[in-house]
Structure 1
């Protein structure tokens, strides 16, 4: 057997238990600083049809945009800064690029342009950066961070002139970009980038209902209990992953290597609704979903909990905030909320081998 196959790659799963009602609850901060998300899965045990209010929020999520062959210097103009960066909540991420092989770029809602490039491109650009934390002794990838809100990036500043020269003359870089703007003036994305090929994209929404499903028995105050009254955080995370990927998770395990079984203790539910949303999903839209799931329990429900799992882009240059994200083998970059009917929640954050510990 190859050495790489003899052991599973390292991964990190950070778990946090709290309540939405606590003044120092960090749930909003965790959502807001996980900028680039492509899939959200909502699981509602003991539910056959999506509640009307939740369905309305999902249907009203709006659009995002795909811009073809957009040069990086398009983000440097004063007009772009005034229209998008200064108003906040603008997101851009290169599309169909691989963080471990290609040059990748992103504009954060904080106004920072992050460029992750190979060694040759970095040397051609001539801009100041730092070696990727995953490069090892011989750096083969570099990260260049440009703060578009910095005063030195004003049109008459020396830094601006150097960055503009590097990206327009010395080493022009163009990519296909996914764009989103959580602002009431969102249609201006179409008008501002009209000289490029722009496509408006709708979110893909799919739903399925599982019958007679074995679900873990969860109690909000028992996440870290050693009394066997609730499954472990890791067992729950694996079970939710299997459910969201429509893997057959039968009650009984067998000797077959790919067999799974529901963690104990468990209960049998008559039905469970899984709704999956796919696209370029911004934190604001996820906050709206979390808010609606909290209100889901305003009326009595058979189930005591629901879950919301969010998958980040595997090839995003960052995971949370400005923490560098690496691919290595899997590119894991996701988190999950288990929301209880008493406003408690469990938050599970997971990253793969080439990532620092989630916040």
Structure 2
């Protein structure tokens, strides 16, 4: 027999935020720049004769990231590594094949912060200052540690640096994905791969996986600037249905429940192209891709173009330095809908609910 109180537990809430912007996205980059770990980039283009397939082919050639197997965290605190890749350029690094709710996870953000999301046993052995996880303060079985590798005092204080290296050595090796943006154009981003290879690591060069399809649907419109959050949410839901190749036909007789999309004055069925890239993208590269797409369609008579960006489920931080979790709904991401030089940013942040 099912306990009747089970149905009394409310579902964890999600935070949805709608913002309008005007002009180039680069000048509004602060809205998305602090979303460091991007896994999925989906671009939806309705009813356009312009070909963008060549652009996405070039993305596969130029959007390179690296996989390093069995990385010992002690090497991230090496003075030569900090000087070359943490304090110069922007390093983005994330552990993979680890689960944020029960495993140890690590990440380095472009501002030089090393984040550790670790269990109680590891924290007690680590000997570094941290805080109890926001989500398990009562249980106390998960801890969050932040280390500023870009701190100028860290390199000058050899005793502190030696202690940090000895503490990080306690952690088991991680398999990580990483990308490095050099401070100058004449410096090759692959320098970091060469560095790890020369110190004995197995480094693999990776590129995003591309999938595309075309859907023939009735295309709804959206108001710029957005004034109704519910209308934007309904439109974003429709975009999700299109990107997943769902059946959008409204057949009330076939199913007890059917999906009904946003209202549209368009009776004609028109093509909508969807391009989906899976990989490891920095916030800088995401902004560049969006800017390039906006530039290509600046003079095109399209009603709108949508870009969906989804983060990694098991990253130690999500937005900025905000701790991430995956107990119930750990998906974080945003949808950008634009028309020429104006647009809407629809953010989805997972629940900040504290578990007892």
TM-score by length of 1: 0.88
Please identify, of 93-102 and 245-254, the stretch whose mean Cα deviation from structure 2 is larger.
245-254
> Which residue pairs with 2:91 in the alignment?
90
Answer yes or no: is the 8 Å Cα contact 2:209–2:279 preserved in 1: yes
1:180 equivalenced with 2:183 (yes/no):
no
> Which residue pairs with 2:15 in the alignment?
12
| Deviation string, structure 1 residues 177-205 (Cα, Å, up to 9, x no partner) | 00111234211122111111111111101
C-alpha distance in 1 between matches for 2:139 and 2:128: 19
| Deviation string, structure 1 residues 56-82 (Cα, Å, up to 9, x no partner) | 653443311111110111110111112
* Runs of 4 or more above 6 Å deviation: none
C-alpha distance in 1 between matches for 2:320 and 2:29: 13
Alpha-carbon distance, 1:154 to partner: 1.4
> Which residue pairs with 1:36 in the alignment?
37
Alpha-carbon distance, 1:300 to partner: 3.1
| Deviation string, structure 1 residues 312-344 (Cα, Å, up to 9, x no partner) | 001111111101111112311100100113x11
C-alpha distance in 2 between matches for 1:258 and 1:296: 40
Q: Per the alignment, do residues 49 and 329 of structure 1 end up closer, same or farther by CA in structure 2, a change over 3 Å counting?
A: farther
> Which residue pairs with 2:348 in the alignment?
350
Q: Per the alignment, do residues 258 and 189 of structure 1 end up closer, same or farther by CA in structure 2, a change over 3 Å counting?
A: farther
> Which residue pairs with 1:214 in the alignment?
218
> Which residue pairs with 1:300 in the alignment?
300
Q: 1:199 pairs with 204, 219, 223, which one?
A: 204
Mapping 1:124-135, distance limit 5 Å: 124-135=125-136
CA RMSD in angstroms, aligned pairs only: 2.5
| Deviation string, structure 1 residues 188-244 (Cα, Å, up to 9, x no partner) | 122111111111111101111112x122221213x2259xxxx71211121122222
Alpha-carbon distance, 1:137 to partner: 1.8
Alpha-carbon distance, 1:4 to partner: 6.6
C-alpha distance in 2 between matches for 1:208 and 1:178: 28
Q: Per the alignment, do residues 5 and 53 of structure 1 end up closer, same or farther by CA in structure 2, a change over 3 Å counting?
A: farther
C-alpha distance in 1 between matches for 2:258 and 2:42: 23
Q: Per the alignment, do residues 243 and 87 of structure 1 end up closer, same or farther by CA in structure 2, a change over 3 Å counting?
A: same
Answer yes or no: is the 8 Å Cα contact 2:154–2:161 preserved in 1: yes
Answer yes or no: is the 8 Å Cα contact 2:120–2:142 preserved in 1: yes
C-alpha distance in 2 between matches for 1:5 and 1:238: 27
C-alpha distance in 2 between matches for 1:224 and 1:18: 13
Q: Per the alignment, do residues 159 and 256 of structure 1 end up closer, same or farther by CA in structure 2, a change over 3 Å counting?
A: farther
| Number of aligned residues | 344
TM-score by length of 2: 0.89
C-alpha distance in 2 between matches for 1:291 and 1:124: 46
C-alpha distance in 2 between matches for 1:181 and 1:5: 48
C-alpha distance in 2 between matches for 1:355 and 1:282: 27
Alpha-carbon distance, 1:310 to partner: 0.1
SS for the counterpart of 1:353 is: coil
Q: Per the alignment, do residues 329 and 257 of structure 1 end up closer, same or farther by CA in structure 2, a change over 3 Å counting?
A: farther
> Which residue pairs with 2:102 in the alignment?
101
Alpha-carbon distance, 1:145 to partner: 0.6
Q: Per the alignment, do residues 277 and 316 of structure 1 end up closer, same or farther by CA in structure 2, a change over 3 Å counting?
A: same
Alpha-carbon distance, 1:311 to partner: 0.4
C-alpha distance in 1 between matches for 2:13 and 2:158: 45
SS for the counterpart of 1:298 is: coil
Please identify, of 67-76 and 183-192, the stretch whose mean Cα deviation from structure 2 is larger.
183-192
Q: Per the alignment, do residues 177 and 118 of structure 1 end up closer, same or farther by CA in structure 2, a change over 3 Å counting?
A: same
Answer yes or no: is the 8 Å Cα contact 2:75–2:165 preserved in 1: no
